[in-house]
Amino acid sequence: MNSSRGLIDAADRSLEELLSRPVFKDSLRSIIKNIDPESARRLVNTIMWKDQEVLLALMGSLPLIANTIITALDELLAQMNQKFSPELLKGFTESILADIDIDKLLNVTSRFQELKNELSPVLDKALKGKSKDKGD
């Protein structure tokens, strides 16, 4: 399959068309207003334990998912750095943080740090391999 005609490409082409329609944007606003973070834990448990075949399929696709998220974040950060002033970004971040559950964010950062510490030998080995490939 041509990599430029995959799932993300289809989503991009569809979204580009849909974003020109006011009805879609109104529907999107309505959907966003009904996001229920308190149900996220239950969703994770359903994905993980209802059917292990689905879990394993998702885990098998983690490199593709991770690379997609990494590429998207790289572009997002590049665009933000180029198009938005630091003052605007600081103000926006402050307003977002006012509505974020800081206790859960601290739990996530702590759990992520624990996992990072456990996986650091594997991560370090992968990163060292990449730096050698680049001739560092």
In sequence order, what DSSP letters do the residues of 108-125 get, joined into one string?
HHHHHHHHHHHHHHHHHH
Domain edges within the chain: 1-35, 101-136
Query: What value does the CA radius of gyration of the chain take, rounded to a whole number of Å?
Result: 19
pLDDT in tens, 5-56: 899 999 999 999 999 999 999 999 999 999 999 999 999 999 999 999 999 9
Instruction: Give the whole-angstrom CA distance, residue 122 versus residue 136.
Output: 19
pTM above 0.75, yes or no: no
Condensed to tens digits (0 to 9), the pLDDT of residues 64-121 reads 999 999 999 999 999 999 999 999 999 999 999 999 999 999 999 999 999 999 999 9
